[in-house]
Amino acid sequence: MRTIINVANRLPVTIGDTIRKSSGGLVSALEGVSGDEFELKWLGWPGAVPDSPEEQQQLDQRLLEEFGCCSVFLSAEEVEAYYDGFSNGSLWPILHYNPHLMEYDGVQWDIYKQVNRKFADRILELAGNDDLVWVHDYHLMLVPEMVREARPEIHIGFFFHTPFPSSEVFRSHPRRLELLKGVIGADQVGFHTYGYLRHFRSAVLRVLGLEAELGSIRHGNHLTSLGVYPIGIDSQKFLDELESKPFQEKCRNLREHWKGRRLLLSVERLDYSKGILQRLQAIEKFLQHGQCAKDAVFVFINVPSREMVPAYKQLLEQIVSEVGRINGLYGTIENAPINFIHQSVDFTELCALYSIAEVAMVTPLVDGMNLVAKEYLICQQEEDPGVLVLSEFAGAAQELVNSVVVNPFNTTQMSKSLDLAFDMPIEERRERVQKMRSRIIEFDANFWASSFVNDLAKQVQFDLSPMSVSESEDAIRERLRQSFKPAFFLDYDGTLREFEKIPSAAFPNEKVLAVADALAKAPMDVYIISGRNPEVLQEWFKDYPFTLIAEHGSVVLEPGTTEWLSLNQATDFTWKEHILEVLKLYVGSTPGSFVEEKHSAIVWHYRQCDPEFGVWKARQLLSELYELVANFPVEIHHGKKIIEISSIHVNKGVALEKYAKEKEYDMVLCAGDDQTDEAMFRLEGPQYVTIKVGEGDTRADYRVPDPNHVRKMLLHLVQPEE
């Protein structure tokens, strides 16, 4: 039986004089998934810090045996810095479009990493190779990558329960790179809405510079799938409560208490993302002009939250002040229009309030899902249901399309929506609620969890084909050992060296030079065969005994010489001036792009452009070029963020074949990463060993994911065995 290790900031337990299991949608959802196929374990902070290691061990053992929970113990200092500080003082504002409220502290970041490492280490202790690890929310964004680095065979899921903001907002966070890299260590990342998925993908494109499809991100030899999974509620728990005698008694009491009044309900955790102040403004406008205002009573339940965070203290003071002011203006001796409750209420009373409220206002400024909307609807009685007024910026608005949808920033519209809600005919109310309630019951929390877990279980570890060269390095090394006259033909950009946004910044770093030093001492001929211009290659490799072939096979510099020789002296290049005119127009209309003119080719670079705009313009350019060059002796190559137009008489395959025949090499290893290298890979013969770097269709025999693997492979091949 496979195990699901469900990893969250807090364990679903409450520790006091006794230990009891917490209730909630996530708990019931995961318990519904476990059964004959899966065993469920929870991993998280228990909310208590035992005084000694012995007491920690005893508590951990008891939690495991009685509740299926495994603990990550945190000190009070860690909780303050990791949870209150970095998670809620830095990440929460960014994720909810409030970068001005973000407070970044380098010490808190270090502790956030430290705590994430604790969680990752505990996962590694518990997880078997076939287990599923499901990590939840922004508190643990670094965990997937940490686990992946140590145990790439483990299936890792990650779910954002919050919104994910636009890339323009998220990129303002000082640790944006590390956070995004941490998350895409997962095999599968889930979101409540497609909009959040789209924003995350955009951040990956623009911040990490990775290529991303609509539903997946490829990075190195790993594929991260993206999916939309709207979370539901524990429907059965509410349905059972609606049939209970305590619920029915509570409904009778509340109806009697507010007899003759029309109840509007607002329930949420106290948070600046919930739009509470805007809601109060809308209510004040309604009280001024609403036809039903004199009979209405507004019950505001704000559950205390993060009371030690200054922004929350200030928000509470503002809310209390506004409630007092509005009650002072519109209240009477018999009635205060707003009943403000700053505490949680028990489940039975909450369900009763949901059931008798004519209107519920769920109008956050931004919210991941907001389950209050679904809880309200499931508690509506068929004979006389209420009306849901819902913010268009709540994730739930994507599903609950029959609610009265409002813009929470437009307080006038919200005020008018209350008139609409109170006056709505009963037939229309029934029709609206019935459609939404049916969906909530069918697609409940268990459906949500099962969907995610089943998709995660089906994820196949991304295997780049053809055969990974790591599986055959020993065979290649043995073939190299037996060769009498071997040669290496190595591309540079994207093969020996990672790409940079500015091409000149991709000079040989220490890692590349270490490989070059090893190759210089090895008993084989080495060719650097690149699209770079001659001057750059000569400057970089003038001290090495390599043959340098520039501009994809146009010119060559033999070892020990200083004069570049043309490999295609009779080639006609008059076509260049026609194509240059077109490329310059695209430079003008595509900020960040530029043209590089070579002896035998012209290249349009768009690596520094907005990634999606650059791809769009590249497709336009390709379409135009194919028509333009129909009668020219040229080839068009769409490479890594470049479009290159070069002579059909000049390519790497021609250059490689020339030297392979002249030198009579009995083994030729060639490696490259893009379309220009396929000319080498198409050569046939037993002497050729061809290696593709990165993804994409290829004729090569083998594949490695990135330049780092190329360098390791080359060192393994040429350095003496220890």
Q: What is the DSSP string of 462-474?
A: P--SS-BGGGTHH
Instruction: Please report, for the chain, how many H helices and E strands are present, in that order.
Output: 26, 28
First and final C-alpha spacing in the chain: 43
Active site residue 491: yes
Cis peptide before 230 (omega within 30 of 0): no
Element (H, E) at 45: strand 38-45
Q: Are 356 and 251 in contact (CB under 8 A)?
A: yes
Tokens of 441: 């019951």
Residue 446 vs residues 3, 7, 227, 232: alpha-carbon distances, Å: 17, 17, 17, 8
Tell me the Ramachandran region of residue 97: left when phi exceeds 0, alpha when psi lies from -120 to 50, beta otherwise.
Answer: left
Strands 13-15 and 19-21: antiparallel
Name the nearest CA neighbour of 296 among 287, 284, 304: 287
Torsion over CA: 34, 37, 39, 42 (sign): negative
Neighbours of 410 (CB within 10 A): 13
Residue 186 vs residues 108, 158, 162: alpha-carbon distances, Å: 24, 6, 17
Catalytic residue among 131, 137, 234, 491: 491
* Separation CA 369–CA 451 (nearest Å): 17
Name the nearest CA neighbour of 617 among 594, 633, 650, 647: 594
- Give residues with Cβ within 8 angstroms of 513, minimum separation 6: none
What residue ranges in 237-311 does DSSP mark as E strands? Answer: 262-269, 296-303
* Separation CA 135–CA 129 (nearest Å): 16
Sheet holding 155-159, edge to edge: 69-71, 38-45, 2-10, 132-136, 155-159, 188-191, 222-228, 216-219
* Separation CA 485–CA 437 (nearest Å): 75
CA 453 to chain centre: 18
Q: Percent helix, strand, coil in the chain (nearest 5)?
A: 45, 20, 35
Name the nearest CA neighbour of 345 among 372, 381, 325, 380: 372
Which neighbouring-strand residues pair with 268?
Answer: 302
Q: Which residues are catalytic?
A: 491
